[in-house]
Amino acid sequence: MSALMTLRMRPHHVLCSIGFEGEGYDDAFIANMGNLVYGTLRAPGGRETPIEITGEADAICAPCPSRRGLGCEKDPQIQELDAAHADILGIAVGDTLSWGECLERVRDRVVPKDLARICAGCMWLPMGMCERKVAAFRKVADDAAALGCVDKTPCP
């Protein structure tokens, strides 16, 4: 794991990275998220990418219009999302695991109905993309097929 660049990731961004379908706050955010998700995590060898769990702004937050230094103007909501996701995934700030291990934790511990609770207040939740991806992900053993990795198409 040490030969690859470690990505710092907030707990709730594990599921955001699974649910990502090319939407975001603005063009800069979408480009950054797309690069991280499609160019690293869903790329060949992406499962080996080391992920360091953080409680501060991470690689995904970098261009976010709500970012304020290492925090966020929505910190209370973000901290609630992080706490709920860390709990269900069994991760904590300071943990380092591979992206593949993150995927396995989601597959083993999260069902679509959990998202209503752990993602409460997220503006993307009503769009259903994360729920569709988690449902597909749990049914298919092949991460690439479940996540639409090859052609970047959304799940049906």
Query: What does the pLDDT look like over 133-154, one tens digit per residue?
Result: 888 877 765 555 555 544 444 4
Strand partners, 50: 98
Among 110, 108, 112, 107, which Cα is nearest to 143's? Answer: 107
The confidence band for 3, taking pLDDT boundaries of 50, 70 and 90, is: low
The confidence band for 71, taking pLDDT boundaries of 50, 70 and 90, is: confident
Distance of alpha carbon 43 from alpha carbon 70, whole angstroms:
28
Instruction: Give the dihedral sign, CA 153/134/65/86.
Output: negative
